């Protein structure tokens, strides 16, 4: 009796082999990628060893860390090779940008501790504070004998003096790194002891101590004033700035500057009076903008989690900066605003600019808004190109 159409019989095992073949191929290819990755990491380690060797040569010769012509040649050579091998240009540029920055970091670590001047006895007044601890480690890394003096106690790993008089009698350099709120009182106590040591403060505002500094210099004391424009979390110093203020004692300024000259810091001279005028903008305005942004976010009634789910790239950039500012010491940040006499003339510019922006943004005519953006764009175009001299970075 005829039967219906036959179903083709599957050969035993054929389906299983067909199903496993892609898996076998993937395993083999992943093994190949694993081998290539090991080779990449080994080559990366070799490249960093070569970068460290170059850094040692540069440090001995007094050469700057960054050689922009060489970096340009490296990038161009990589781009040409990538083109020949069919590798996307953006990928090559991103990879070699990371490799170059890694090499720069390796060389910075050598430069930051390549001080070759006379070794000194350095007392850090306020050594238990965050910047005091950073400075203690920095000077120790250069080979100086470092001790601290701080009512809060000793800094682990460093000698400590119980009194300013004892510490200053021992020291050749005294760095005053106490909080800004006690700047005038602490510096006054130090200078009243008329130390033989060179005294330098790191206060982020100078107005409260200018009379003390001028009087001390006029009386023959050696006094310098600096301002590290970076926080205690700084490990490497490329792209960061140190201000050296003119106290009227050029010799003291030169000596303090010499400790930081071998590093990759950008070091700039500024008068004591101009310092606070500049800080009202670069610290006062920038802090205020970020805290006002945070305050405005609170007023929206939305949580950070809610906004984060729909956030743009610009929002995240601004939010990250605002988060960093909000996490800082609020009393210090209040002092930076309140103690600076220039704040009274600088902060109202925010209100004026905000009113102009709101008017332009809500106007039916787009031209005022366009004009505002074009003025901003033109202002940012005046940004100076940073120097490439020793002690500076791009």
Model pLDDT, residue 6: 56
The residues facing 122 across adjacent strands are: 146, 173
Instruction: Give the residue from 246, 275, 304 where a domain finishes.
Output: 275
**Do residues 268 and 316 share a domain?**
no
318 found inside a domain: yes
**Do residues 107 and 173 share a domain?**
no
8 found inside a domain: no
Model pLDDT, residue 68: 62
Q: How large is the average pLDDT for residues 51-69?
A: 80
323 found inside a domain: yes
175 found inside a domain: yes
Q: How large is the average pLDDT for residues 28-53?
A: 94
The residue segments making up the domain with residue 106 are 23-111
**Do residues 96 and 218 share a domain?**
no
What does the pLDDT look like over 67-121, one tens digit per residue? 767 888 898 999 999 999 999 998 998 999 889 888 887 887 776 666 778 899 9
**Do residues 201 and 252 share a domain?**
yes
**Do residues 265 and 164 share a domain?**
yes
- More confident position, 22 or 364: 364
What does the pLDDT look like over 155-175, one tens digit per residue? 999 999 999 999 999 999 999
* Alpha-carbon gap, residue 91 to 89, rounded angstroms: 5
Model pLDDT, residue 393: 29
Model pLDDT, residue 56: 86
Instruction: Please report, for the domain that includes residue 79, its CATH number.
Output: 1.20.59.10
- More confident position, 2 or 239: 239
Between helix 210-218 and helix 183-192 the angle, nearest 10°, is 10
Instruction: Give the residue from 93, 111, 129 where a domain finishes.
Output: 111
Q: How large is the average pLDDT for residues 357-364?
A: 95
Q: How large is the average pLDDT for residues 3-27?
A: 62
What does the pLDDT look like over 243-301, one tens digit per residue? 999 999 999 999 999 999 888 788 999 999 999 999 999 999 999 999 999 999 999 99
3-state secondary structure of 116: coil
**Do residues 222 and 262 share a domain?**
yes
347 found inside a domain: yes
Instruction: Please report, for the domain that includes residue 220, its CATH number.
Output: 3.40.50.720
Nearest to 68 by CA among 394, 391, 390: 394
**Do residues 292 and 270 share a domain?**
no
393 found inside a domain: no
Q: What confidence category does residue 386 fall into, taking pLDDT thresholds of 50, 70 and 90?
A: very low
What is the tally of structural domains in the chain?
A: 3
Question: Per-residue pLDDT for 205 more than 90?
Answer: yes
61 found inside a domain: yes
100 CB-near residues (< 8 Å, 6+ apart) = 71, 74, 75
The proportion of the chain whose per-residue pLDDT surpasses 70, expressed as a percent, equals 90
Model pLDDT, residue 112: 65
What does the pLDDT look like over 309-334, one tens digit per residue? 899 999 999 999 999 999 998 998 99
Residue 1: DSSP 8-state: -
Radius of gyration of the chain (CA): 29
Q: How many other CB atoms sit within 10 Å of the CB of residue 376?
A: 10
Question: Per-residue pLDDT for 129 more than 70?
Answer: yes
User: Rounded mean pLDDT of the chain?
Assistant: 88
The reported pTM is 0.71
What does the pLDDT look like over 10-21, one tens digit per residue? 555 455 555 558
**Do residues 127 and 107 share a domain?**
no
**Do residues 246 and 319 share a domain?**
no
Model pLDDT, residue 4: 52
**Do residues 328 and 282 share a domain?**
yes
Model pLDDT, residue 43: 96
* Lookup result for tokens 């070091």: 267
Model pLDDT, residue 392: 32
Report H helices in the chain: 14-61, 68-85, 89-111, 130-142, 164-170, 183-192, 210-218, 250-260, 272-279, 286-299, 304-308, 313-326, 330-338, 343-346, 348-362, 367-380
* Alpha-carbon gap, residue 319 to 299, rounded angstroms: 15
Q: What confidence category does residue 389 fall into, taking pLDDT thresholds of 50, 70 and 90?
A: very low
What element of type H or E holds 268?
strand 266-271
Question: Per-residue pLDDT for 5 more than 70?
Answer: no
* Lookup result for tokens 């601004």: 318
Model pLDDT, residue 75: 87
Nearest to 288 by CA among 325, 249, 335: 325
339 found inside a domain: yes
Q: How many other CB atoms sit within 10 Å of the CB of residue 158?
A: 18
CA distances (Å), 81 to each of 70, 77, 87, 89, 271, in order?
17, 6, 8, 10, 50
The residues facing 145 across adjacent strands are: 121
């Amino acid at each position: 009796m005829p039967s219906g159409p036959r179903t083709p019989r599957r050969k035993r095992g054929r389906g299983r082999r067909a199903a496993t073949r892609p898996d076998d191929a993937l395993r083999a290819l992943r093994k190949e990628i694993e081998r290539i990755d090991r080779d990449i990491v080994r080559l990366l380690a070799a490249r960093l060893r070569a970068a460290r060797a170059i850094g040692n040569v540069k440090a001995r010769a007094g050469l700057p860390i960054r050689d922009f012509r060489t970096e340009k040649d490296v990038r161009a050579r990589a781009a040409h090779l990538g083109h020949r091998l069919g590798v996307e240009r953006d990928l090559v540029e991103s990879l070699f940008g990371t490799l170059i920055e890694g090499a720069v970091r390796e060389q910075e670590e050598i430069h930051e501790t390549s001080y070759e001047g006379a070794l000194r006895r350095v007392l850090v007044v306020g050594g238990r504070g965050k910047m005091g601890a950073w400075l203690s480690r920095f000077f120790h890394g250069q080979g100086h004998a470092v001790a601290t003096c701080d009512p809060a106690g000793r800094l682990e790993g460093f000698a400590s003096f119980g009194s300013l008089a004892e510490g200053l009698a021992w020291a050749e350099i005294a760095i005053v790194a106490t909080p800004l709120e006690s700047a005038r009182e602490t510096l006054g106590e130090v200078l009243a002891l008329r130390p033989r040591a060179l005294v330098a403060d790191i206060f982020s505002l100078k107005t409260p101590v200018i009379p003390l500094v001028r009087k001390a210099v006029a009386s023959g004391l050696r006094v310098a004033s600096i301002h590290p424009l970076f926080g205690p979390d700084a490990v490497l110093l490329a792209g960061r700035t140190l201000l050296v203020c003119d106290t009227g004692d050029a010799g003291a300024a030169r000596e303090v500057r010499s400790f930081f000259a071998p590093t990759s810091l950008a070091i700039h001279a500024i008068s004591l009076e101009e310092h606070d005028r500049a800080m009202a903008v670069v610290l006062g305005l920038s802090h205020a903008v970020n805290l006002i942004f945070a305050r405005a976010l609170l007023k929206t009634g939305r949580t950070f989690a809610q906004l984060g789910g729909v956030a743009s790239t610009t929002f995240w950039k601004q939010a990250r900066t605002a988060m960093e500012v909000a996490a800082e010491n609020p009393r210090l940040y209040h002092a930076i605003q309140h103690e600076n006499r220039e704040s009274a003339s600088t902060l109202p510019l925010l209100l004026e600019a905000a009113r102009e922006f709101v008017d332009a943004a809500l106007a039916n005519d787009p031209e005022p808004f366009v004009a505002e953006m074009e003025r901003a764009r033109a202002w940012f175009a005046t940004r100076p190109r940073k120097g490439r001299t020793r002690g500076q970075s791009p």
